[in-house]
């Protein structure tokens, strides 16, 4: 009986335990999820605008707003501490965080701006007091941001603050060689100076706590990726990793190769000093073989000299030759124009001639430079042999600073087309200011607009004195060019309308014919002139000769068109310009209206 009681008690205890366990709630309590509102979405550029609009005074965000950006540098390497740099499509900004870690390079994040302070730290725009838990919402990881290819001179403008950049063709200054990035033993931050081939310099700043502080400064030349910062007006770079410092090429000296050449403001090269079958050798220019053994050479045809590259009879499997201008001080107004021609087309593709530009070429090492192909019209397979093709005006506005323009020939013994270039001009005038040399002109001004200044590609139209240039005008359904001082209110009006440059060496029997008319005659105000030393810009320094042409005069009826007769130009060689020069005065009553039309330059 006692045993039965013990057995029954055991059964009760087991059942109680089973019931107790089965009643346990297996759903553990989860911490409450923090919902961080997005609010108004801003860009980094808008943050900068807000700060500037507040006269550089700090701004504390009190409402709900956010910025989406990608981390381009964290403090993991020790080169910065409790800081990060982030970038969006509009710019970059520094984050000062309350604690180290938590966000890393490649993190795509949303920054919740509430309670953050937008301010300035020694010149760097910064979001201060960033709490990783309350202000950062990660979107993705391992997002790759490509650095922007820039020059030291561009960084020094301040336009790339807190952005990831890549510098090409740079090296540490000779005075830095033999040193380390920083003083790791004493944890002392150091500034090391980086230079380019043009003599521009910038600080590379490294913390004594960086994990690469004790590494030696590389002695070569090459590329470097870094984040741009600033300290009290001095632009500086922060390296993320020495894996992004690739300075392994031979150093340049004293500005390197082309860096020794003083940059020019304009180019006007017609190769008149070139010798047949001799390598082009012009002061300041580079004539470089990349593959094969042939350079660009001088050549002439029908009395015209030019530069030529060809694979014909070379026996070469590959031929690549570069002809590169001197360094040019490029502004937003500069344009390039040139002529090209071909003979005996044998290429399979249209890349026999390509045209390139670089802002970091050192004057000798084409491989280490960054080259961008220009959209130029060049002679191709369907163009007639020996016909000069105008490139058109090519804007260089996107390449401001010191730049080089390169003409690259690619060929071989089988792809052996002969390519020619001539009349290479870089200036701020465009076609009219010394643009593309022509051999014919046929201008009737029908494309112009009544009472608007004449604007024709390749022509130059300007007022030397007064404010009036040549304008389009219509009479009896005919449009022409007109110049007049009538009602100008000015003491002197001098207006020039100048043709594109004319190549007098292609043919030897050029002639020009045109028509003039006058209205309300009271003075002789029109001259027709020619110059073979005009630079496309400064008429006062050129030599101008009058042409023996018939011009409408006092005894001709108003509005009646008078033929100039055929004006012989066969005695002129080289490149020349024909100018229609009007001189008048409203205050002195010299207000005759002069008109020109149907200008025709031809050869037999």
Mean of pLDDT over the chain: 88
What pLDDT is stored for residue 258 in this prediction? 42
Q: Is a pLDDT exceeding 90 seen at residue 415?
A: yes
- CATH class (in words) of the domain with range 40-140: mainly beta
- Identify the residue with better confidence: 111 or 538: 111
What pLDDT is stored for residue 332 in this prediction? 83
- CATH class (in words) of the domain with range 441-603: mainly beta
Residues 6+ apart with CB under 8 A from 303: 505, 506, 508, 573
Mapped onto helix, strand or coil, the DSSP state of residue 267 is strand
Q: Is a pLDDT exceeding 70 seen at residue 429?
A: no
Mapped onto helix, strand or coil, the DSSP state of residue 525 is coil
What pLDDT is stored for residue 6 in this prediction? 52
Alpha helices in 411-467 (DSSP H): none
Q: What percent of the chain has pLDDT over 70?
A: 91
Which residues are registered as beta bridge partners of 156? none
> Among 588, 438, 426, which residue's Cα sits nearest to residue 505?
438
Tell me the pLDDT tens digit for each residue of 55-112: 989 999 999 999 999 999 999 999 999 999 999 999 999 999 999 889 999 999 999 9
Lowest mean pLDDT among 314-323, 421-430, 553-562: 421-430
What pLDDT is stored for residue 1 in this prediction? 45
What pLDDT is stored for residue 466 in this prediction? 87
Are the CB atoms for 192 and 176 separated by under 8 Å?
yes
The Cα 409–Cα 380 span in angstroms is 13
Question: 267-427 — its CATH code?
Answer: 2.60.120.200
Q: Confidence band (pLDDT; 50, 70, 90) for 255? A: very low
Lowest mean pLDDT among 13-27, 29-43, 497-511, 527-541: 13-27
Q: Annotate 553-580 with b (16+ C-beta within 10 A) or e (fewer).
A: eeebeeeebbebeebebeebeebbbbbb
Stretch 257-286: mean pLDDT, rounded? 81
> Among 152, 114, 144, which residue's Cα sits nearest to residue 130?
114
What pLDDT is stored for residue 440 in this prediction? 85
Residue 480: C-alpha distances to residues 16, 24, 251, 485 (Å): 113, 100, 60, 17
What pLDDT is stored for residue 32 in this prediction? 56
Q: Confidence band (pLDDT; 50, 70, 90) for 256? A: very low
Per-domain boundaries in the chain: 40-140, 167-251, 267-427, 441-603
What pLDDT is stored for residue 42 in this prediction? 96
Tokens of 580: 């229609």
Are the CB atoms for 310 and 379 separated by under 8 Å?
no
Stretch 393-409: mean pLDDT, rounded? 91
Do domains 267-427 and 441-603 share one topology? The answer is yes
Are the CB atoms for 558 and 520 separated by under 8 Å?
yes
Are the CB atoms for 237 and 228 separated by under 8 Å?
yes
What pLDDT is stored for residue 263 in this prediction? 87
Are the CB atoms for 84 and 227 separated by under 8 Å?
no
What pLDDT is stored for residue 503 in this prediction? 85
What pLDDT is stored for residue 433 in this prediction? 41
Q: Is a pLDDT exceeding 80 seen at residue 260?
A: no
Stretch 568-586: mean pLDDT, rounded? 92
Tokens of 253: 């000296």
Stretch 577-600: mean pLDDT, rounded? 94
What pLDDT is stored for residue 387 in this prediction? 86
Answer yes or no: pTM beyond 0.75: no
Residues 6+ apart with CB under 8 A from 459: 431, 432, 497, 498, 499, 500
Are the CB atoms for 463 and 494 separated by under 8 Å?
yes
Are the CB atoms for 407 and 426 separated by under 8 Å?
no
Residues 6+ apart with CB under 8 A from 358: 369, 370, 371, 372, 403, 404, 406
Q: What percent of the chain has pLDDT over 90?
A: 60
């Amino acid at each position: 009986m006692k045993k039965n009681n013990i057995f029954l008690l055991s059964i009760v205890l087991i059942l109680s335990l089973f019931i107790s366990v089965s009643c346990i709630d297996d759903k553990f309590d989860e911490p409450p999820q923090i919902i961080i509102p997005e609010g108004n979405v801003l860009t980094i550029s808008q943050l900068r605008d807000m700060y500037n609009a507040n006269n550089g005074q700090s701004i504390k965000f009190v409402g709900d707003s956010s910025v989406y950006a990608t981390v381009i540098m964290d403090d993991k390497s020790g080169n910065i501490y409790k800081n990060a740099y982030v970038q969006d499509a509009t710019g970059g900004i520094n984050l000062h965080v309350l604690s180290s870690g938590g966000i890393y390079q490649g993190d795509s994040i949303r920054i919740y701006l509430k309670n953050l302070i937008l301010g300035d730290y020694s010149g760097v725009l910064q979001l201060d007091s960033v709490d990783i838990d309350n202000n950062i919402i990660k979107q993705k990881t391992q997002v790759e941001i490509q650095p922007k290819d820039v020059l030291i001179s561009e960084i020094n403008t301040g336009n790339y603050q807190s952005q990831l950049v890549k510098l090409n063709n740079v090296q540490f200054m000779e005075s830095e060689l033999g040193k380390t990035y920083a003083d790791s033993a004493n944890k002392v931050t150091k500034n090391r100076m980086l230079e380019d081939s043009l003599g521009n310099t910038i600080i590379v700043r490294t913390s004594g706590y960086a994990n690469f502080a004790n590494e030696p400064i590389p002695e070569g030349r090459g590329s470097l990726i870094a984040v741009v910062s600033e300290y009290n007006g001095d632009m500086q770079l922060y390296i993320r990793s020495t894996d992004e410092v690739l300075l392994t090429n031979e150093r340049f000296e004293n500005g390197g190769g082309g860096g020794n050449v003083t940059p020019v403001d304009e180019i006007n090269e017609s190769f008149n000093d070139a010798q047949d079958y001799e390598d082009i050798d012009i002061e300041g220019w580079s004539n470089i073989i990349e593959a094969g053994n042939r350079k660009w050479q001088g050549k002439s045809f029908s009395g015209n000299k030019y530069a030529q590259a060809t694979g014909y009879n070379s026996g070469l499997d590959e031929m690549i030759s570069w002809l590169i201008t001197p360094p040019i001080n490029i502004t937003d107004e500069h344009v390039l124009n040139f002529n090209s021609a071909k003979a005996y087309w044998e290429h399979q593709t249209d890349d026999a001639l390509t045209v390139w530009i670089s802002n970091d070429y050192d004057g000798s090492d084409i491989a280490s430079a960054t080259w961008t192909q220009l959209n130029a019209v060049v002679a191709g397979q369907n163009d007639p042999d020996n016909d000069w093709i105008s490139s058109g005006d090519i804007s260089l506005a996107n390449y401001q600073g010191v730049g080089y323009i390169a003409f690259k020939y690619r060929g071989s013994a089988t792809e052996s087309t002969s390519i020619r270039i001539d009349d290479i001009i870089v200036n701020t005038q465009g076609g009219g200011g010394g643009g593309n040399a022509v051999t014919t002109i046929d201008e009737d001004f029908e494309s112009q607009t009544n009472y608007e200044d004449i604007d024709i590609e390749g022509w130059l139209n300007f007022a030397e004195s007064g404010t009036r240039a040549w304008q389009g005008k219509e009479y009896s359904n005919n449009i022409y060019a007109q110049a007049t001082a009538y009602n100008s209110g000015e003491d002197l009006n001098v207006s020039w309308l100048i043709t594109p440059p004319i190549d007098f060496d292609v043919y030897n029997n050029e002639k020009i014919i045109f028509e003039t008319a006058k209205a309300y005659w009271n003075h002789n105000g029109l001259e027709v002139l020619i110059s073979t030393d005009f630079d496309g810009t400064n008429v006062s320094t050129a030599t101008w000769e009058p042409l023996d042409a018939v011009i409408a005069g006092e005894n001709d009826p108003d509005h009646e068109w008078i033929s100039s007769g055929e004006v012989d130009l066969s005695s002129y060689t080289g490149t020349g310009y024909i100018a229609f020069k009007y001189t008048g005065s409203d205050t002195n009553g010299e207000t005759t209206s002069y008109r020109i039309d149907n200008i025709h330059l031809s050869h037999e």
